[in-house]
Chain A
């Protein structure tokens, strides 16, 4: 008998089936990956197993744990199952943890609930659990509040909480999507070590194929609420039985396929006068005073950065959160000013902070979040024509808008529609069209594909590449995702804490990194061949 047996599960909202007639099993100690893009129903499946679907959703079919039916179980018995037999790890540990309760109490809570332990006993067990997931100074951390921990520590605490009662099954829903890549590697290896050590079954839900490849034994692929593919992890990705899975596999950038670096031909060394010159730029933010007698603490977002970017190249800026990469982008397009140092774009002194009008014709920007970068109250046509009007560019605006829409492969009749009527990828195309409207020479793209589904990412990258040729652009491409940068950029800088740690041609920097930090970043990338979580590289 399987540990978990899901048969003909359907989750519906009104008459609409969001998860449609899916069946799968998980054996004791087995690790199952559920793959799907947004809206595929993967999270709903998890919530249905735990009986935590929202009131307006209903589940049909059968779910049994050790032969005991869970679907239709009364609330009291279901509460006894949750946290004891099945537990869950959520995506965003900052919001999934109670902000006003100490970590130790939160980790101890399932123990007090299911093991009937008193406060002290539960708390000392909680400290042990925190220690076992690699949190340093566990006694002190147990007394901390969630906001006092780093993202990685919070997610480790979530893992400790989920494992507290030694459950038979742990469900992890995109557990590392919100984390930096190096932290992701650490958290995933902790999770894998823990479930292996306790022979706990794992359901890992993610959109990220390489993560699944390195964490699980078998896989199911969900699309629009239905299972389109299933099998042992290796064969599903190699054999690629359905076209959808084949497409997902094809969308994985080469660098995320295997740890054996694929040689990337080095382009010609850049020549001529640089389009963008950044000279010893510092950007500091002052925080509020914490004491009367000390000076105000300062955050150094950028700490002495110099870089030249030449016409026609695609230049990558990579770094983890807080590295200063977005600050650098904002300085280049004149959204912010450096504390010291100079930024010149096409001979215009951007760091002066005034008379930036000429810069607007030269440099435009594409933002990360396609939801937030378009004014929801403006029609698409107005959105794209706005820069033309603002900059007083003469000419036949409707015709130019139509031309731009065509360039980003959108039908020209969408001009009268509002942004919310489009999907994320389409919205990003509209944002790109708007950025191209004034006819810029420099396009600064800040994480332009990070909020998009994997398959949409590939298409959008392809589009950016084509537009760069068509409009003869210089592009600055900012991302946390090394494999995307590897695919699209020629030269790259790696930022850490506001400093450039390494620079050079992409193939060289990522293929044979000289600096330890770059090496850590490269090694932390999950690979489709499952090779990233080898004991040697899964360092703390």
Chain B
């Protein structure tokens, strides 16, 4: 029952998001036809383009048209190249999604052990060092970290390529190699955030009474933490991981521009500079759709971790 309701919420949110994406573009001032043709275009030319794009129809009709196509996987055509948008998006996702997953994996590998370590050394030197490092990590903009990594590892040391992406079909290892520095740049910031959450979730859990009960049975502090604490602590950490995934995707948009990667972010920026509204609309809708899907997955995973949510 819960699953059905949650999927309903997901679909509802998806529709609402699509309205927002579409609405921002249509309702805000600025006639796309003029935007495309420039202010010096003749009124006739503008009018014929408006008809061609379907802009002379009422906005709800335009939306209904766009949305019904969109859910069938047709995001329309680019006004700049005239090519279908959906295949381009799929192509771009092959860079963006692996980059985000790579960065997320790195983030978890760094922040989980570090956070648990800091919590178990609460108020000792180890905890203080982790706190200071994560505080610094939080302050660094990911794209700047990217620039610095390029300067150091690509320009000075020449360990990795500074920019570009060969493509998965072209060279698998070359592609992985091209994603290493961008993923590290993203993971630096994300790890700082997640480490702090893991630390406080574990600390919070260690103060729970059932940990004291576990100790009274004869478990050591670390046994109590591993056997009783971690699963409980994982519940708030999962929430924040889900919430941060959106930030991570947004981060890839920026980082792709540092490393000149042909991802979704690059596509959106190109779309803006060419005034290609359908392209921006389609790309943005796909990103929001992915984020909503991740939220759905997180909410459903909760129920596996927390039996209290399962029984009603």
Contacts and interface: CB of A to CB of B under 8 A. Distances in A.
Indicate, yes or no, whether A interacts with B. Answer: yes
Contacts of A80: 218
- Find the residue from A50, A83, A87, A288 having the highest chain B CB count within 10 A: A83
B274 interface: no
Contact of A83 (B217, B231, B308): B217
B216 A52 contact: yes
B306 interface: yes
Interface string B269-312: 00000000000000000000000000000000000011110011
Nearest to A52: B215
A371 interface: no
Contact of A110 (B4, B208, B218, B306): B218
A82 B215 CA distance: 8
Nearest to B216: A88
A130 to B, nearest CB: 16
Nearest to A289: B1
Interface in A107-147: 109-110, 113-114, 145, 147
B48 interface: no
Interface residues of B, number: 24
B301 to A, nearest CB: 13
Contacts of B311: 145, 147-148
Contact of B217 (A110, A147, A287): A110
A114 B312 contact: no
B209 A145 contact: no
Contacts of A243: none
Given A90-B212, A100-B231, A82 B1 contact: no
Contacts of B218: 79-84, 110, 113-114
B254 to A, nearest CB: 38
A113 B219 contact: yes
B217 A92 contact: no
B47 to A, nearest CB: 51
Q: How large is the interface on A (under 10, 10 to 19, 20 to 34, 35 or more residues)?
A: 35 or more
A75 interface: yes
B209 to A, nearest CB: 4
A287 B227 CA distance: 34
B159 interface: no
Interface string B219-246: 1100000011001100000000000000
A22 to B, nearest CB: 21
Interface in A62-82: 75-76, 79-82
Given A96-B209, A290-B1, A145 B217 contact: no
B213 interface: yes
A205 B4 CA distance: 49
Interface string A280-293: 00000001111110
A347 interface: no
Given A52-B215, A95-B209, A288 B306 contact: no
A90 B312 contact: no
A101 B228 CA distance: 8
B127 to A, nearest CB: 13
A99 interface: yes
28 contacts: A79-B220, A82-B215, A82-B216, A83-B219, A87-B217, A90-B212, A95-B208, A95-B209, A95-B210, A96-B210, A97-B213, A98-B210, A98-B214, A99-B210, A99-B306, A99-B307, A100-B231, A100-B232, A100-B305, A100-B306, A100-B308, A101-B231, A109-B217, A147-B307, A158-B213, A161-B213, A288-B312, A290-B1
Q: Give me the 5 closest cross-chain CB pairs, A-B, nearest first.
A: A83-B218, A83-B217, A82-B218, A88-B216, A145-B307
Given A90-B209, A99-B307, A100-B306, 15 more contacts: A52-B212, A79-B218, A80-B218, A90-B216, A96-B210, A98-B228, A99-B232, A99-B306, A99-B308, A100-B307, A109-B219, A109-B227, A145-B307, A147-B308, A290-B312
Interface of B: 1, 4, 208-210, 212-220, 227-228, 231-232, 305-308, 311-312
